[in-house]
Amino acid sequence: MGLSVLMIGYDGVSRLTWMRHLPKTYQYFTKNLKGTVLEGYNIVGDGTTQAFLPILTGLTEEELPESRRGWPGAVSVDGFPFVWKDFKKHGYITQWVEDEPNLGTFHYRLLGFNEIPTDHNMRVFYLRKREISNMFQSFCLGSMSNHLNQLNWLKDAFVAYPDKPKFVLGFYNEYSHNVEYRILQNADDGLVEFLKFLEKDGHLDSTVLILMSDHGVRYGKLRETFQGKLEERLPFFSFRFPEKFQKLYPEAYRNFVTNAQRLTTPFDIHATFIDILNYKHSETETGGKLKRGISLFKEIPLNRTCADAGVEPHWCACQEWEKLTTSDPDVIEAAREVVTTINTMTSEERDKCSGLSLGRVISAIKMSPDKAKVLTFEKSADQDGRMPQFSIEERIFAEDCVFYQVTIETQPGLGRFEATVYQSTKEKTFNCAYSSISRINMYGEQPHCIMDDFPHLRPYCYCKEQKTSNMKLRR
């Protein structure tokens, strides 16, 4: 297709939050630029890393080489099959930037890069800026906002390489990551002006423009509501294609418009990137090694389920749930299984992390639709020793299979967790996967004793020795 790709993202912004906090951008993008929002876009995991890995590699973290800090045999992410490598092979200029290096998608929990991953990258700049941050007011670089400075850097790619295809990805944490000082609306005017620049100078004539987020808000008062639970799972994701694309590939564009109203996932975005590079010769609908990613240029089935798309029940926003009383014996048993699973996660650091106990069950719901396809639970650990996941094999939901989703509070520390537990009624057993547990309130300095060495345990560890807590950011 020969089209450039520009993807601009903001951390923690649901589709509805984008409409609430970036109304000018939403209006200009959808009305003036005729952009299209994916209204059925569903996350497949917890946090930014779990959002970007499927987009950029077509694979989940569990399917990639071990790269978590503190884990035996962990390696850097340099060898991951990032899609920008494919674009580079096709002659594209590549560019990747995040504005908060301490919260980097591939550096916070993972070992990050040893080599500069793209032709242009701002990580060194932001690391240095962080060292001298006391020289500037919050959110500023001299007299300019950090946000505008980064937009200008993205603009430079189009000015410096007017005749070369580009794969440009800019991601912003500062304005939206911490709900305690959410000032996302401050990005609205600058982003609109940037979009006007792209249109006025003709860059959108040959560029696929993507405005997106990784997930909705993951903790705080909103997240503790049913509305917040849905918004976490349904982030903003949108595309705007050049007019020439619509004329050259009418079937692909028609399918894309249809798919905007259907269930889509990060795996589909990766498959779409591959199609942008090689659409005429693309014969497969799969993204990664499993049949789950479908290019948005191919029609997605109307009856697609979360199981078809590779979305675990815990993250699926399409399920129908039945409300239960918190005193239900099965609910109590499910809640205890969640606590047991959390304690298993922190067991190797028991000299530092307290064992948790069940404080109370806040809410509980159950899913057991007779005709819904779900993911089959696999109890055995994988080759990297990670906790069980749900397999991608489909089967009809049977009478001996029930999912409970419980929200609990643990002691000590008053941690709040939302978790999905699988029950085999025939075997009378409950099972909970690590990936099906979400921390939904802030943990602050509670896990200070393992923060640097075992960052993946931060949501679950309450250090035996506590210090005065100042609420910090979490990924």
Q: Is 118 left (phi over 0), alpha (psi -120 to 50) or beta?
A: beta
What does each of the 475 residues of the chain score in pLDDT, given as a tens digit? 789 999 999 999 999 999 999 999 999 999 999 999 999 999 999 889 999 999 999 999 989 999 988 888 999 999 999 999 999 999 999 999 988 877 788 888 899 899 999 999 988 877 887 777 777 777 777 777 888 888 998 999 999 999 999 999 999 988 887 655 468 899 999 999 999 999 999 999 999 999 999 999 887 788 878 888 889 999 999 999 999 999 999 999 999 999 999 999 999 999 999 999 987 644 444 444 456 899 999 999 998 988 889 888 888 888 778 899 999 999 999 999 999 999 999 999 999 999 999 999 999 999 864 434 444 434 333 333 344 344 434 333 445 678 899 999 999 999 999 999 988 877 788 999 888 899 999 898 999 999 888 888 999 999 999 876 544 444 4
C-alpha 300/C-alpha 262 separation (Å) is 7
| Residue 467: per-residue pLDDT | 78
The DSSP code for 172 is E
| Residue 308: per-residue pLDDT | 87
Question: Largest Cα–Cα distance of the chain, in whole Å?
Answer: 66
| Residue 277: per-residue pLDDT | 92
Backbone angles phi, psi at 23, to 5 degrees: -65, -35
Radius of gyration of the chain from Cα atoms? 22
Q: Count helices and strands (H / E) in the chain.
A: 13, 17
| Residue 169: per-residue pLDDT | 95
| Residue 305: per-residue pLDDT | 86
C-alpha 301/C-alpha 377 separation (Å) is 24
| Residue 453: per-residue pLDDT | 87
Count other Cβ atoms within 10 Å, centred on residue 87.
21
C-alpha 48/C-alpha 475 separation (Å) is 7
Strands (E), 368-473: 373-377, 390-396, 401-411, 415-424, 429-431, 437-439
Count other Cβ atoms within 10 Å, centred on residue 337.
20
| Residue 405: per-residue pLDDT | 94
Ordered structural domains, the chain, with CATH: 4-309 (3.40.720.10), 322-457 (3.10.450)
